[in-house]
Amino acid sequence: MEHKKINGCLEKFRSVNNRTLVVVDYANVVNWEASLGWKIGIKELSRLVKILSSGNKLLRRFYFGSDFGRDEKVPIMTTFCSTIMNKAKINNFHIVTKNVKYIFNNNYKKGFIKKCNLDIEMAMDMLIERKKYDQLILFSGDGDMIHALKYLKENYNKTIYVFCARGHIGREMIDGLKQGTISKIFYTEDFNYRLEKKD
């Protein structure tokens, strides 16, 4: 997608951005970086999101797990997690979180895996906040979200957009676009001039 066309789309969003909910599944977003070959800055992401959604902070939602390390009872976040949370807060996102769980098993390379799925929280918030928005922009290519998106489209006539990276989008999302649940899919690669971390 050419920059000129992107800028035209963003101008259209400006006219309705007081009635647009943006949902950022940041764990999903971070996973795009290996394929992209560049990092997505939270500050840069925030600047784009503020074009898409202005006004009420609750409409700019940032979902990410709180990681307190292997000893989950220690009330200190890991440095990586703390840095992300602080940047999201500074950049005026409404943060939605829950604790990361450590599941221990010697069959895993590190002896454990980390788990923190916020799909339910995202789906519930989209429904709870439905009277505050007409457009929804989801930063996630996770096909598990399509059921919630379909419900919002069919029952509340929400206009839905998905933002993801190529190779990181579920088949269900592609089908949702073909079936009219999703109005458009935007690809991160086309927005590198706006999203690439500068510092």
CATH number belonging to domain 3-65+79-98+117-195: 3.40.50.1010
Give the Cβ contact number of residue 166 at 10 Å: 14
27-36, 83-92, 108-117: the lowest-pLDDT one: 108-117
User: Tell me, what's the pLDDT at 130?
Assistant: 96
Per-residue pLDDT tens for 181-191? 999 999 999 99
Residue 162 has pLDDT above 80, yes or no: yes
End-to-end CA distance of the chain: 25
160, 134 in Cβ contact below 8 A?
A: no
Instruction: Report which DSSP code applies to 186.
Output: E
Domain ranges of the chain: 3-65+79-98+117-195
Per the prediction, the chain carries an average pLDDT of 92
pTM over 0.75: yes
Bridge partner list, 163: 139, 186
For 91-142, what is each residue's pLDDT tens digit?
A: 999 999 999 998 888 877 778 888 889 999 999 999 999 999 999 999 999 9
| Predicted pLDDT at 9 | 86
> pLDDT digits over 136-161, tens only?
999 999 999 999 999 999 999 999 99
- Asked if 141 contacts 28 with a C-beta cutoff of 8 angstroms, the reply is yes
* Residue-level pLDDT at 12: 87
- 71: pLDDT strictly greater than 80: no
Give bridge partners of residue 22 from the DSSP assignment.
Answer: 60, 137
Could you tell me if residue 54 is left (phi over 0), alpha (psi between -120 and 50 degrees) or otherwise beta?
A: beta
